[in-house]
Structure 1
């Protein structure tokens, strides 16, 4: 009795953490798909891209103030980020403790390789998000020295620096890998992989989302580098 109750509590907590990761992961998937769509407007030229950026801040006016929807999105994303990262760290800590007590050596090594890939990929993406916000949102980092209020010009002039474009492209590779594993894991947590057919569908969905998002985002810096976007 004394050991069963804590064990059940621990299992319930683990399930809750996995559900939180799955739900916040779905929030991020929806956001990156919309964000990618907006970024691709750079191929339509400065006017289209700047108008898109401007209209985002006018959504639901006058019900909300100028930029209200953007701030709501930021709050939701920040809360999701805290929940996602916190759950990931808690699950990683629990897995390490369980592995030390229960797993054989061969299984532990295999699990560690998989978890390390996801874990450090997540840390790299978190660092990139901080860089991205400081670069294109607050403009604290301004390597190209761009002046003015045009989001399009800030985007293009930044990606004309090869190392900035390289950072973004490498980050999209990491994002694709993270989405590939994370999307499938979320579907698995939500019980969508119970049969062989559903398992294969989940794998296909995860790969598709990962490729669409990673390639879609990478097209913009690549477009600037090769001169299609200028």
Structure 2
């Protein structure tokens, strides 16, 4: 990321500034956080049934003549890379500040940022696994699934049901979602603070909203694998 910054003066100025990197973390965090809400809404269609979920999957893959899903993936990937790179850069800077000043407040802030970066890297590993599992379909080639209602199209619903019959996959999924939502509950508050929207009066409200949003995201996503593995939904 630093090499990219040196090639573009504006990017270089933003990247060399602590405030600039914090803004990048906040803005990319907003995009990723909003994406989670939309992604969850679409995924919950699995409970509506095979036809509704497969219609949704087909819409995504044919949006803007098939280019829409790739544009979305490119934007999300760019946001993710910038978010992770800026967070790592800020964490390294905080660590250097701790060594220079060694005061309690700085140490506490650095520990908090270290927790955020490790949960963030775990989430990144999960995202890669999730893409390989359900998007690239390394485990489940398209030929393995045909929609019984329309043999000409891929049965995305059936793939999700089969994918979450593996206890190890479900366990990893639940743990990763827990870390993700822990990251969100702290990250959303930080985004508001970076954007200057957090005050002493609004802080308690933002804390409740952040934690509440994280709980909704966690329960929504986890309800799918748990329903399939534990309660036998779709089998």
Q: Structure 2 length as normaliser, TM-score? A: 0.85
Aligned to 2:133: 135
Aligned to 2:73: 74
Distance apart, 1:109 and its partner CA = 4.2
1:204 aligns with 2:208: yes
Q: Is the 8 A contact 1:46 1:152 kept in 2?
A: yes
Deviation beyond 6 Å, 4+ runs, structure 1: 9-12
Count of paired positions: 214
Aligned to 2:199: 194
Distance 1:190 1:229 in 2: 44
Q: 1:11 to 1:172 in 2, by over 3 A?
A: closer
CA-to-aligned-CA distance 1:24-64 (integer Å, 9 cap, x gap): 000001111000011111111111111111112333xxxx3
CA-to-aligned-CA distance 1:168-207 (integer Å, 9 cap, x gap): 11111011101001111001101111232x1112111111
Structure 1 gaps of 5+ residues are 1-8
Aligned to 2:36: 32
* Structure 1 residue corresponding to 2:159, chosen from 154, 157, 181: 154
Q: How does 1:18-167 map to 2 (within 5 A)?
A: 18-59=22-63, 64-65=64-65, 67-104=66-103, 106-142=104-140, 147-148=144-145, 149-167=154-172
Q: How does 1:12-23 map to 2 (within 5 A)?
A: 13-23=17-27
Distance 1:229 1:11 in 2: 48
Q: Is the 8 A contact 1:159 1:224 kept in 2?
A: yes
RMSD: 2.1
Q: Structure 1 length as normaliser, TM-score? A: 0.87
Comparing both chains, which one has the higher relative contact order based on Cα–Cα distances under 8 Å and sequence gaps of 6 or more?
Answer: 1
